[in-house]
Amino acid sequence: MSDHDAHKEGSVHIVSYGQLVAVWVSLLLLTVTTVAVTRVDLGAGKVWAALAIACVKSGLVIAFFMHMKYEARLFRIIFFVALVTLAVFIGLTFFDVLYR
């Protein structure tokens, strides 16, 4: 029935090739960084470094490749809820793992 007006929220945004390639290149560079970081002796900081880089990378993928940057606010909030939920699940598990 209402297929035609389904797109009224948030117009369709087209990401240019240049932008996509730029994101892709930065992902590659970040991968190189991940590998490079393993050669530096950071002790426990190693894990944090790897996680930080991974966060930036997934952020890029979500924002550009998954279009989240251009979506309506509601979708971004919903997406954020999912992320926070995951973080809470992992966080609470650490009450066990860290103190065992």
Number of residues that bind another protein (CB under 8 A): 15
Residue 100 as a binder of another protein (CB under 8 A): the answer is yes
Distance CA 36, CA 32 (A): 6
Q: Pattern 58-97, binding to another protein, x per CB under 8 A?
A: ----------------x------xx--x--xx--xx-xxx
- Amino acid in position 11: S
Q: Pattern 23-62, binding to another protein, x per CB under 8 A?
A: ----------------------------------------
Distance CA 53, CA 38 (A): 12
The minimum distance between CB 3 and another protein, in angstroms, equals 11
Do the beta carbons of residue 63 and residue 69 sit within 8 Å? Answer: yes
DSSP helix/strand/coil, 13: coil
Residues whose CB falls within 8 Å of the CB of residue 31, separated by 6 or more in sequence, listed in order = 57
Interface residue list for another protein (CB under 8 A): 1, 74, 81-82, 85, 88-89, 92-93, 95-100
